[in-house]
Chain A
Amino acid sequence: MDSTHRNIADSEEIVKAIKEALSSKFYTDLIKYCIFYISKTYKTKYDCERGFRGKMAEDYVNETLQSFLESNGRKWYKDKYPNFKEQIISSLQSVLYNDLKSKKELEKTYSTNDDDKIAEYETTIDNNSDEYKETLYLCINILERLGADDDEILLFEPYIIDQMKRQDIEKLYGISASDLTNIKKRLNRKLPLLAKELKNEK
């Protein structure tokens, strides 16, 4: 998509969006996301006192946020990210990726760009294929080991694999919004561990 046809926010819109988005809660979540990204991508424990290779999570987050206010700085592509928070997170991922790939001493455990391409290809996989069934059973086994109950296991496929909307899941299972929320909360706690085990299985 060339830039002449993109819906790009002007500086006034960006200032307004920053003021609306940047609560202490969201900022803290960005710091947590930064630590999560470093930990999972580079299989290393982030040191909250010393940072990672001399750079703190706060540095990455602050650099990302300030870049939106620079002249010729980062843009907000409203067509791709109608919610500015999502643009911030995407930009933070980009800052982290570009900075960390230059730290050649550490061997990356996997390449996020290659995996994104594979993931895109995998959206066309047939739900009836052996590969699909094997992977689904693998996920269910892992979730059971992590203590997931029947409701969580039933929720997993429509929620994570099919990415169904919550109203559709409620209809599918004939459950209330609050029941679905409770099941989701229990399942959510196990998802990062599931992702970690799946990566180890590759």
Chain B
Amino acid sequence: MKNKIIKNIDQQIINQLIDDDSSILDSYLENEGYNIDEIETIALRSYKKLSFILNGTINQQKDQALLEKISLLFKDAINKNLDKPVHYLKNLITNNELQVQYRNLDKLSIEEIQNIIKDQNLIELLEKFDNDKE
């Protein structure tokens, strides 16, 4: 019975946190001799750093997902021998003087296509594919 009550109290603390209410926690920490202001200052400093890192991670993942999506579109275009995307890719290879010899586009792997297009404006490329579909 005591364990149940203790567990229920713990659950109330969590329920409150979900509602952005830390009054039970604050009460406990103050009683235990902690300085709430000090904790909040340290937390805010750390929050700013973490937000920056998380945003960076999220943007990196978004870019990678976009790169993979467009590479698949190019691969599909090569297989179907669609003029515009094939022509675009060939120009990129020539203009960027890429070391590897890409004579046969149909032999390109997804990773190789990613390597060719990675520095391009991916949003624009996606829009071009969408426009060509219409």
Contact = CB atoms under 8 A, between A and B. Distances in A.
Are these two chains actual partners, yes or no? yes
B47 A28 contact: yes
A29 interface: yes
Contacts, number: 154
A69 B2 contact: no
Name, among B3, B17, B35, the residue most crowded by chain A CB atoms within 10 Å (CB to CB): B3
Contacts of A199: 2, 6
Interface stretch (B24-32, B74-82, B101-109, B122-130): B24-32
Contacts of A48: 34-35, 38-39, 42
A116 B7 contact: yes
Interface stretch (A1-9, A31-39, A95-103, A170-178): A31-39
B100 interface: no
Given A86-B18, A191-B12, A69 B31 contact: no
A94 interface: no
A192 to B, nearest CB: 3
A133 to B, nearest CB: 10
B10 A27 contact: no
Q: Is the interface of A mostly helix, strand, loop or mixed?
A: helix
B46 interface: yes
B24 A189 contact: yes
Interface in A88-127: 89, 115-116, 118-119, 122-123, 125
Contact of A32 (B2, B9, B22, B44): B22
B7 A119 contact: yes
B25 A33 contact: yes
A31 B50 contact: no
B47 A192 contact: no
Contact of B27 (A23, A24, A189): A189
A35 B61 CA distance: 32
Given A35-B34, A65-B50, A69-B58, A29 B9 contact: no
Given A135-B1, A161-B5, A192 B27 contact: yes
B134 to A, nearest CB: 26
A143 to B, nearest CB: 11
Nearest to B46: A58
Query: Lowest 10 A-B CB distances belong to which pairs?
Result: A192-B28, A28-B43, A122-B4, A58-B46, A189-B27, A135-B1, A119-B7, A119-B3, A31-B43, A27-B47
15 contacts: A15-B61, A19-B58, A23-B20, A28-B43, A36-B28, A36-B29, A58-B50, A66-B53, A125-B4, A135-B2, A160-B8, A163-B8, A189-B23, A192-B24, A195-B5
Given A28-B47, A62-B53, A185-B23, 17 more contacts: A19-B58, A27-B47, A28-B44, A33-B13, A33-B25, A36-B29, A45-B33, A62-B46, A69-B54, A115-B3, A123-B4, A125-B1, A160-B8, A188-B16, A188-B24, A192-B27, A192-B31
